[in-house]
Amino acid sequence: MYNRNNNNSRRPIGRGGINNARPIRVYVNPENKTPNNIAPQNAGFSMPVENRPHHAPFSADTVRIASGANRRISEQRNVNRSRPSQATSQHSHLSPSSGRRQSPQRGAGERRDKHSDRKIGTRVRERSPRGENGSEKDNVPPIEKDVIRIIPLGGVEQIGQNMTAIEINNDIIVIDAGFQFKDEDTPGIDYILPNTKYLEERKQKIRALVITHGHLDHIGGIPYIMDRIGNPPIYSRSLTTMMIKKRQEEFSHLKPLDIKVVEKADRIKLGNLYVKFFSVTHTIPDSMGIIIETPFGSIINPGDIKLDHVDGVPTEAEEKEYERFGKEKTLLLMMDSTNIDNPGFSTPESVVCKNLDEIIKNTKNRLIIGMFSSQIERMINVITSAEKYGKKVVIEGRSMKNNVEIVKAMGMIKTKPETIIGVEQIDNYPSDRILVLATGAQGDEFAALMRMSTKSHKYLKINNRDTILLSASIVPGNERAVQKLKDNLARQGAKIIHYRTSEVYIHSTGHGNRGELEWIHKKIRPQFFIPIHGSHYMLRVHEELAKSLGMPIENITVPDNGTVIEIRDGGKKMFRLKEKAPSGLVMVDGFSIGDVQEVVIRDRQMLAQDGMFVIIGSINTGTGKLKKSPDIISRGFVYLRESQDLLQEARVIIKKTIEDTTKGMNPINFEYIKDILTDNVSRFLFQQTAKRPIVIPVLLGV
Ligand SMILES: [Zn+2]
Ligand SMILES: [Zn+2]
C-alpha cells in the first residue's frame, strides 16, 4: 500500500534500520545472556536484539535458522491447529527433546545448508505459505512455438512489487523488479518481493530486465532478485540506472550489475525480439514506456503513467509522444490502474509546482516542506524556486539527500552549489531565507519531520513563526501516523498547510485518473488488454473502462499474481492457463529472504496482541516427576510481579498436567506432554485473563 506514492522515504533502504523496531523477544533461558551460550539444539530461538553482538553476522544466522525450522514444522504438521498449539508445534521441534525424534543427519544437514548460503540473494526457499500441504510446484507447461506468454508476477493484487514476464519462443523479457513495503498484516517483515520462481527455473531464457523508472516499487527488488534470475543485463534510461546503482552500493557483496543505458530513440535487440521505448509523464524524470515488437504486433507497458494537460486537454508534447501509436499495430496493452477510480484528469505536476513557487515566494518566515523523496521532479522545482527567491535550502532525510545527490551528479538541477546548505549552518541565515525540504510527510517514525515534531532534531527546532507544508497525500494506512505528526507540529505553534486544507493544489499523484487512462486507451487502441498495477478491484474497474471503449470481454484478462496468459493463433486469441506460476509471498525478513511462513506472521500478530508465556521444567526421565517447581517467563502478557496468584495456580496446573501425563509412560514422550501442557495452560490462562498468549513449554529430561 505504501507505494501508492512511491514513498521511498519510509525507511532507510537496504539493511540499515531493520533491527530497531523488532518487538519480539524470545528467550530460551534468561540466564543465557550471550547468544553463544545457546546449545545447538536450541538454535531455533532468536535472541532479543539488545543481547546480540553489535556486529551482525550472528543475528543473521539466528534469524535464518529460526525461519528454517519453522518451515520444517509446517511441512510436517497440520497448519490448521488452534492458535496456542501452533506455537508449540513450532517450538517442539526445536527444543532439546526433539532431537530424539529427528534423525541427527537431517538436523546437521539443515544447519550446514543454512551456512552455505549466507548472503542475501542466494537463498531460495522452496515452500510457499499458500501451498500448505506441500511445495508450491511450478507446473506451468513449456511454451509452444509462436505463442506469447504474459505473466504478471507482482503488482496485480496490490500497489507495489511490480514485475511482469513476457515470453516468446526462446526469449523472456522481464519488466520491472519492484518491492512492496510491509503492511499491518505482515509485522516485522521489511519488504515483500514478487515471486520469481517461474523465472528462476527458466533463467537461461531471460534476455533482459527492462526497468520503466526509478521508483522502489519498480527497482526495489533488484538487489534481492538479480542473482536468482541469473543476473541478466538491466536496461533503462540514465536517471533510473543511477538510482539502481546508488541503491546497489548498499549491497556490496552482490555481483556487479550489468546495466545498460537506453534512450527513447533506441531500438534494441534482446534475443530474437526488438524493444523500443517512449517517454511517459510521471513524478520522476526518465520514466519510460516499453514497446516489445512481436510478429503479431507490439506489447506495450507504459509503467506508471499520467498526462500533462491543461484543464483536461493533454499538452502538445503528450500528443506528439502518442502520435506514434497511430502507426503502431498494438497487440497488447498492459496499464497502470492505480487511480482508475478517480474521475477526470489528475492535477498536473506543473500546477503543483507553480503553486509551490508562489508559496515559497510569499512565505516571510522559515518554510518547511515535507514530501516524498520519490517526487524527484517536485524536489528539483522546489530547490530551483528557492534559489530564485534568494533562499537557502536544507535537505533533511537520507533518501532525499541521496536523490538530490543523484540529480546533481546528472546535471538535472542547475542551481548554484551554495544554494544547498548543511543543516548545521541554518542559524547563519535569517529565517525568511531558509527553506527546509524534509522526508516524513507520512508520519514515518524515524524521518526528519517526525524528529522535528518531537523536538528530537539536533538543529531544527520548530517555532510559532514556521510554516510547515505537507506536500503529500496520506497513503492509506498512514492516517494515524500523519495525525500524530500534525498534532506534534501544531503543539509547537507552527502553521501547517496540508493538501486538504490548502486553498491551492500542493500535491498531485503520479498516476493518471480515469480520464487520462481513457485518453491513452484511445491513442494506443490495443487489440488485447491486461490491467496491471492495482488491487483486484481497481483492475476490475479498469476492465470496465476498456469494455466501455468497445473492447470485447474475451480480449481482456484481469490477472492475479502468477496468472499465465497466452496470446495464440497468430495473435488472434487470448487464453488464461489453468496452471499458475508460483505466487506465494516472498518476503525480506531481516537478513533472510524467502517465503516466510504464514505461521511465523501469525505468531508475530499473536505476540503483539497477547504476548507469550514460557514454561521451563526439568523432568526426571525415570520417574516422570518434575525436578523442581517450573520456571515461568512471560513477555507482553501480564505483569508477573503483580500476578503471583495466577503464577502459583499455573504452576500447580503445570505440575499436575505433567505428572498425570507421565504416569506409566515409558519412555517419556515429550512431544505429547508438551501438547497437553500447552492446551491446559492456554485454557487456564484464557479463563483467568481472557488473553491467549503463545504458550511455549521447554521441557528438559534429566
Ligand atoms: Zn512510479
Ligand atoms: Zn509504481
Whether residue 422 is contained in a domain is answered as yes
Indicate whether 223 and 288 sit together in one domain. Answer: yes
d(CA 288, CA 252): 28
Q: With pLDDT > 70 as the criterion, what percentage of the chain qualifies? A: 80
Tell me how far the alpha carbon of residue 284 lies from the centroid of ligand 1, in angstroms: 7
DSSP state of 513: B
CA 91 to centroid of ligand 2, rounded, Å? 40
The pLDDT of residue 271 is above 70: yes
Query: Residue 694 is inside which H or E element, if any?
Result: strand 694-701
Question: Would you state the pLDDT for residue 188?
Answer: 75
Based on the domain organization, do 353 and 209 belong to the same domain?
A: no
Kindly give the distance from the C-alpha atom of residue 213 to the centroid of ligand 1, in angstroms, as a whole number.
7
Q: What is the pLDDT of residue 660?
A: 92
* 443 and 313 both lie in a single domain: no
Report pLDDT for 5.
Answer: 37
pLDDT-based confidence at residue 597 (cuts at 50, 70, 90): low
Give the Å distance between the CA of 507 and the centre of ligand 1: 15
> Is 247 part of a structural domain of the chain?
yes
Tell me how far the alpha carbon of residue 215 lies from the centroid of ligand 2, in angstroms.
6
pLDDT of 325 reads: 95
**Is residue 60, in this structure, part of any structural domain at all?**
no
pLDDT band at 86, cuts 50/70/90? very low
CATH of the domain at 582: 3.60.15.10
- Per-residue pLDDT, 76: 30
Provide the grid cell at 314: 493533454
Q: Is the pLDDT of residue 29 over 70?
A: no
Listed range (135-149, 175-189, 327-341, 653-667) with the worst mean pLDDT: 175-189
The reported pLDDT for the residue numbered 607 is: 86
Is the same domain home to 160 and 272?
Answer: yes
Q: Tell me which H or E stretch contains 437.
A: strand 434-438
Q: Are 279 and 443 in contact (CB under 8 A)?
A: no
Q: What is the pLDDT of residue 40?
A: 30
642 with 692, same domain: the answer is yes
CB 434 within 8 A of CB 427: no
8 Å CB contact between 244 and 259: yes
Q: Helix, strand or coil for residue 356?
A: helix
Confidence (pLDDT) at 445: 77
User: In the predicted model, is pLDDT for residue 270 greater than 50?
Assistant: yes
Distance 219 CA to ligand 1 centre (A): 10
| Final residue of a structural domain among 458, 477, 498 | 498
DSSP state string for 264-333 = TT-EEEETTEEEEEEE-BSSSTT-EEEEEEETTEEEEE--S-B--EETTEE-HHHHHHHHGGGTS-EEEE
* pLDDT score at 605: 84
* CA 338 / ligand 2 centre spacing (Å): 9
Cβ atoms 440, 370 nearer than 8 A: yes
| Lowest-pLDDT choice from 139-143, 337-341, 512-516, 609-613 | 609-613
Q: Where in 121-258 does DSSP place strands (E)?
A: 148-154, 163-168, 171-175, 180-181, 191-193, 206-210, 234-236
Q: Above 60 in pLDDT, residue 502?
A: yes
Which ligand ends up closest to the CA of 533?
2
Contacts of 305 (CB under 8 A, 6+ apart): 280, 281, 282, 287, 289, 335, 336, 511, 512, 516, 520
Q: Do residues 430 and 523 both lie within one domain?
A: no
Cis status, amide bond into 96, omega within 30 of 0:
no
**Distinct helix (H) and strand (E) counts, the chain:** 18, 29
Alpha carbon distance 212, 8 (integer Å): 16
Closest CA to 242 of 209, 219, 270: 219
Tell me: do 367 and 447 sit in the same domain. yes
338 and 368 fall within a common domain: no
Q: What is the mean pLDDT of residues 94-112?
A: 31
Closest by alpha carbon to 576, among 561, 557, 595? Answer: 557
Q: What is the mean pLDDT of the segment spanning 636-659? A: 91
Buried b (16+ CB within 10 A) or exposed e, 205-230: bbbbbbbbbbbbbbbbbbbbbbbbbe
How many other C-beta atoms are found inside a 10 Å radius of the C-beta of residue 30? 10
- pLDDT at position 95 over 80: no
Q: Is the per-residue pLDDT at 639 higher than 70?
A: yes
Residue 593 has pLDDT above 50, yes or no: yes
Between the CA of 237 and the centroid of ligand 1 the distance, in Å, is 14
Q: pLDDT confidence of 183, banded at 50, 70, 90?
A: low
Do both 329 and 422 map to the same domain?
Answer: no
pLDDT at res. 107: 30
Confidence of residue 640 (pLDDT cuts 50, 70, 90): confident
Query: What's the whole-number average pLDDT of the chain?
Result: 81
Between 100 and 247, residue with greater pLDDT: 247
Instruction: Tell me the CA–centroid distance for residue 52 and ligand 2, in Å.
Output: 37
Shortest-distance ligand to the CA of residue 284: 1
**Residue 602 covered by a domain:** no
Share of the chain above pLDDT 90, in %: 64
- Residue type for position 23: P
Nearest by Cα to 371 from 475, 243, 248, 457: 475
- Ligand nearest to the Cα of 337, by number: 2
- Asked if the model's pLDDT at residue 83 lies above 50, the reply is no
Specify the number of domains making up the chain: 3
* Residue 499 predicted with pLDDT over 90: no
Q: Out of 11-15, 207-211, 349-353, give the one with best mean pLDDT.
A: 207-211
Pick the last residue of a domain from 469, 498, 527: 498
Q: Answer yes or no: are the C-beta atoms of 40 and 69 closer than 8 Å.
A: no
- Tell me, yes or no, whether 29 lies in a domain: no
Ligand 2 midpoint to CA 2 (Å): 10
pLDDT greater than 80 at residue 4: no
Residue 176 has pLDDT above 60, yes or no: yes
β-partners of residue 270 are: 273
Position 57 pLDDT exceeds 70: no
CATH number, domain at 361?
3.40.50.10710
For residue 328, which amino acid is it? E
Whole-number Å distance, alpha carbon 562 to ligand 1 midpoint, is 22
Ligand nearest to the CA of 243: 1
Task: Please name the residues in contact with 111: beta carbons below 8 A apart, sequence gap of 6 or more.
Answer: 40, 43, 65
The residue with greater pLDDT, 387 or 444, is: 387
Q: 565 versus 609: which is more confidently predicted? A: 565
Ligand number nearest to the C-alpha of 155: 2
Each residue's pLDDT tens digit, 612-630: 999 999 998 888 888 889 9
Dihedral sign from CA coordinates of 277, 278, 282, 284: positive
Q: Is the residue at 539 inside a domain?
A: yes
State residue 370's pLDDT score: 94
pLDDT tens-digit series, residues 112-128: 333 333 333 333 333 34
Q: Which of 507-516, 581-590, 679-688 has the lowest mean pLDDT?
A: 581-590
pTM equals 0.74
User: What are the φ/ψ torsions at residue 314 (nearest 5 degrees)?
Assistant: -60, 145
Per residue in 439-471, pLDDT (tens digit) is 988 888 778 899 999 999 989 999 999 999 999
Residues in the chain, how many? Answer: 702
Residues 578 and 490 reside in one and the same domain: no
Q: Is residue 546 part of a domain?
A: yes
pLDDT of residue 609: 85
The domain of 372 spans 349-498
Residue 658 phi, psi (nearest 5): -65, -50
Q: Say if CB 88 and CB 678 are below 8 A apart.
A: yes
Instruction: Give yes or no: residues 211 and 175 share one domain.
Output: yes
CA of 469 to the centre of ligand 2 (A): 24
428 and 374 within one domain: yes
What CA–CA distance (Å, rounded) separates 206 from 331?
22
**What mean pLDDT do residues 178-190 have?**
78
Is the pLDDT at 139 greater than 80? The verdict is yes
Return the minimum-mean-pLDDT range out of 112-121, 182-191, 210-219, 588-597: 112-121
Distance between CA atoms of residues 557 and 576, nearest Å: 8
CATH number of the domain enclosing 686: 3.10.20.580
Confidence of residue 134 (pLDDT cuts 50, 70, 90): very low
- Asked if residue 606 belongs to a domain, the reply is no
1 or 584: which leads in pLDDT: 584
Residues 105, 106, 109: CA angle, nearest 5 degrees? 85
Cβ–Cβ under 8 Å, residues 244 and 214: yes
pLDDT at 156: 97
- Considering only residues 52 and 665, tell me which one the structure prediction assigns the higher pLDDT: 665
Tell me, what's the pLDDT at 595?
A: 65
454, 474, 498 - which closes a domain: 498
